[in-house]
Structure 1
Amino acid sequence: MFRTAELGRKVSKAEFEELESALRIEMVELQQTLRVADFPVILVFAGVDGAGKGESMNLLNEWLDPRWIVTRAYASTSDEEQERPEYWRFWRDLPPKGRIGQFLSCWYSTPFMEFATGAIDDVTFDERLNRVIAFEKTLADDGALILKFWMHLGKQAQKKRLKSLEKDANESWRVTAQDWKHWEMYDSFIHTAERLIARTSVPEARWTIVEGQDHRYRSLTVLCGLRDALSRHLEHRRAVAETRTRSRHGVEAVSPVIPDVGANLPTVLDTLDMTQALDKKAYRTALGTQQGRLAVLQRKAHRKGVSTVLVFEGWDAAGKGGAIRRVTRALDARQVQVIPIAAPTDEENAQHYLWRFWRQLGRAGRVTVFDRSWYGRVLVERVEGFAADDEWRRAYTEIRDFEDQLVQDGIVLCKFWLHITKDEQLARFQSREDTPYKSWKLTEEDWRNRERWDTYEQAVNEMVERTSTHTAPWTLVEANDKRFARVKVIETVANAMEKVLG
């Protein structure tokens, strides 16, 4: 594939200047249109050392308004980054909707270098690339425009380019001993690049091979490629928005309320024994034992740098808050953070829905507790129509991939659904109404959600069936008796930590 990128194509200075003014105006106007669009642009620059990756990124910052461009170039991972899953730093740096993100030495860099140097085999390389493909598909499915430019030079052209930079007093800093070492490995690098590009050039995120020998030709290839792709994507997103608007209006014209699809069908929740309970004496004994056990295990986890993520979902008034307080009481407050999840903020709405959860992951040895979580996409957002059908349906795969990354990084992940019966919920609602210091917990939304019980129950059933995996299983907690539920939660967390810590 790289033979066609070694044709020595050039653009004269006169040709470039003839196109420059109009193209620059087009690019600025497109950037202003993008600023109010519902998607980000992600540009990936990779390729041969000296082929113009950095120059291309600088050119975009020069031609466009850099205030609306996020530029990231990655070096070795910092201590903070090493204490979290690999893709944490990439999720953290993603541009919000309406902006352009430029990425150099990003998610392709490590698998590329490891395979080119023989540190990993073919199977591992393909697995790493599969992770990349899944990441980019997740972003593209959410609307992101992803453009990937592979900047290419032939071996002799690269040598000439490196020597030219070394002779320039203002540019010599760009060339390092590592660049020359990579040049000596040119054939291995090209073999790796061909395999990487063939595997990861997919419809959602295609590679463009850019001949980098002539800087004007290279610049026009990148600029025109961005212009044309952005213009097409803006039109595509307008069409998608119009279709969804017509669809919503059509549904509302027939019925303003989403029907309770699947109501009265048996669910996994029906298999739970909701009579399980603990008396006060047994509860105090079991609670003390399990909290003490958890405290010892967390100190060990902190020393070993093993993180824990706890996810709490459940019916309104099911006792999530009480269970969380009993868990945190056993832990060192300096090592635990509870994250309450409500409706997303404007900043969060400008990103993929998983972004706000990635950025909250704690450092090594800490415990992060999510009071409601990413499962909102397939529960409240699904049932209430806040997410389109295609959005919540693909979320099952996205969530499984997200959780798989957490577990592969060594994180202890526990997911709890606290279940109560409909009658028990009504009793707790009434109790809250009659108790002054609890009445604030009860809202009109709680009563409205209760009316959709059957619809939510079917959504919960599908959520459990599709996201309870071997590495990240759901724990269904019989929570009609709060004491039983609290002990079961803490014991489950302790068992999971013990399994990982040994």
Structure 2
Amino acid sequence: MFESAELGHKIKKSAYEKEVPALREELLEVQLELAKSTAFPVIILVGGLDGSGRGATVNLLNEWMDPRHIQTHGMGEPSDEELDRPMMWRFWRALPPKGKIGVFLGSWYTWPILNRVNGRTKDADLEQSLERAVQLEKMLVDEGALVLKFWLHLSKAKQEKRFKELEKNPLTRWKVTKRDWKRFKQYDTFQAVHEKVIRFTSTAEAPWLVVEGEDACYRSLTVGKVILKAIRDRLELETVPPPRTVAPPLMPPIDNLHLLKTLDMTQKIDKRDYKVKLDKLQGRLNELTRDPKFKYMSVIAVFEGNDAAGKGGSIRRITGALDARYYQVIPIAAPTEEERAQPYLWRFWRHLPRKGRVTVFDRSWYGRVLVERVEGFCSEFDWMRAYSEINEFEAQMVRHRLLVVKFWLAITKEEQLRRFEDRQKTGFKNFKITDEDWRNREKWEQYEQAVCDMVDRTSTLVAPWTLVEANSKNFARIKVLKTVCDRVEAKLKELHDQGIDYLDKPKKKR
């Protein structure tokens, strides 16, 4: 794999200086065309060995292109804020919007590689990290991004020569550190891990280009020309969009079992019992979130349901039990222009809470397989792939000790009509009813089928759905509160069983 990058490719400086002006001009032209089109984002990963010219390459790209349309991210050691969330959070926040170019010096590969080389993880851990990286890149490409990955390589002898040359010059001596020499001693280990990473993650959607890093002229022209051609080719393709993959049809249940129709919608609770249980459960939830071990976890509560099913009322019963400094409610509506310029899950990733916090989503990422599916706001290919993307998103949260609690609040079609009419008659409830609500009723059966498919495909062991019979608002609120309390209590017990000594260990850098 690295053999072709050790052939001693060189370009004379005179030839380099002759080619650069035209290349810079073309890069600026294609960058401006990309910015005007806002057709897709460009994500450039620059990885490689120490001394191979990664930083110089990134600096040169910024020099050659318009800084207004390029964003550079030097992803060093994660901050405490970043360590408090799943590893991919820091990268999702840095993704460029459509029309922009994002350059990553250090990426989602950096820490899995370093952890494996330094013996903090095993091969199985590395492979799991690489699988997540491949899934992320496939999702980005499916969302329209152009992903370019460059690996700058040096042989062991050339790396040693490079370090010694830099050290001899007083003006460049600072570029070589003790850490660089330490990693040089691990060269063979790094080489083995790098080769595994590149072979595993060089995919059709996002292949790696291995570039020899010794000669700066060759390296710079190669990277610049590849970027130019890739963006130009993609812009030409945008005029004639390629056909999208057609998703296979969902299999109807053989036994014709309809999940929502199995619910007992007649369940109620006496008003007096409701008040007693509400006070008790709210007190219990408050105590649970003040448990010393709660600072090692966080809670994400997801509320979906029929229009007028009582999501807002249930959410208020949860937040009424919490310290306002430690929770946030995120209402999800139609995406803004900023959100449409990013991959679908971007607007949800950025709201993930820190440890010791609660975040409530009033509607959520499930809009893609519900509203967008039924209303035709996205293609069948997009909402079909969303099931696996959502499952992976939630699995990443759970791996980082985020407790995901998901509710579907169900009401009958007749109860919804009664509530709609009540809202129209009551002045202070008028804002809750819209023309869109009435239109959605006309597609009741389609939404029911979408809900059944959603629950079937995304109710996992780590993030199961709780179906709530919500014809009685009081019954629904008690069931929601009790479920949250039970899940938080179980998670705290799990943390307790792990042992406080384990939890208090210093955070490992990724």
- Normalised to the residue count of structure 1, the TM-score between the two structures is 0.94
Secondary structure, aligned partner of 1:343: coil
1:266 deviation in Å?
A: 4.8
Matched residue, 1:20: 20
2:393 maps to 1:392: no
Shift of 1:393: 1.1
Letter in 2 for 1:457: E
Deviation of the 1:434 alpha carbon: 1.1
Contact 1:37 1:234 in 2 (8 A): no
Mapping 1:296-375, distance limit 5 Å: 296-300=287-291, 303-375=294-366
Which residue does 1:113 correspond to in 2?
114
Structure 1 residue aligned with 2:190? 189
**Greater mean deviation of Cα atoms: 322-331 or 11-20:** 11-20
| Equivalent runs, 1:45-444 vs 2, <5 Å | 45-240=46-241, 266-300=257-291, 303-444=294-435
> Secondary structure in 2 aligned to 1:412?
strand
The match for 1:448 is 439
Q: Quote the Cα distance in structure 1 between the aligned partners of 2:171 and 2:308.
A: 66
Aligned mates of 2:376, 2:237 — CA distance in 1:
22
- Amino acid in the other structure paired with 1:34: L
Q: CA deviation at 1:478?
A: 0.2
Q: Distance in 2 between matches of 1:111 and 1:167?
A: 33
Q: Quick one: distance in 2 between partners of 1:488 and 1:235?
A: 55
- 1:493 and 1:171 map into 2 onto residues whose CA distance is 58
Distance (whole Å) between structure 1 residues aligned to residue 171 and residue 448 of structure 2: 66
Per-residue deviation, 1:496: 0.7
**Preserved CA contact (<8 Å) 1:46 1:104:** yes
Q: In the aligned structure 1, how far is the partner of 2:330 from the partner of 2:292?
A: 20
**Counterparts of 2:363 and 2:171, CA distance in 1:** 54
**Is contact 2:288-2:294 (8 Å) kept?**
no
CA distance in 2, matches of 1:170, 1:34: 38
Does the 8 Å contact 2:297/2:355 carry over to 1? yes
Contact 2:12 / 2:217 at 8 angstroms: preserved in 1?
Answer: yes
Alpha carbons 1:84, 1:364 under 8 Å: kept: yes
| Other-structure match for 1:29 | 29
1:301–1:307 Cα contact (<8 Å) kept: no
Q: What SS does structure 2 have at the residue aligned with 1:361?
A: coil
Q: Give the stretch that moved more between structures: 418-427 or 287-296.
A: 287-296
Distance in 2, matches of 1:188 and 1:57, equals 26
Q: CA deviation at 1:303?
A: 4.7
Measured in 2, the distance between the counterparts of 1:334 and 1:415 equals: 23
Residue 291 of structure 2 aligns to a residue whose secondary structure is helix
Unpaired runs of at least 5, structure 1? 248-260
Offset at 1:114? Answer: 1.4
Give me the whole-angstrom Cα distance separating, in 2, the residues matched to 1:424 and 1:150.
60
Whether the aligned pair in 1 keeps the contact of 2:299 and 2:402 (CA below 8 Å) is: yes
- Which 5+ residue runs of structure 2 have no aligned equivalent? 247-251, 494-510
CA contact (8 A) 1:151 1:211 kept: yes
**Separation of aligned partners in 2, 1:301 and 1:146:** 43
Identity of paired residues, percent? 54
1: CA distance, partners of 2:269 / 2:132: 45
Partner in structure 1 of residue 508 of structure 2: none
Contact (CA 8 Å) 2:409, 2:467: kept in 1 or not? yes
The DSSP-based 3-state class of the residue aligned with 1:416 is: strand
For this pair of structures, how many residues does the alignment match? Answer: 484
Q: Note the aligned Cα RMSD (angstroms).
A: 1.6
Q: Which amino acid aligns with 2:24?
A: R
* 1:302 Cα deviation from its structure 2 partner: 6.8
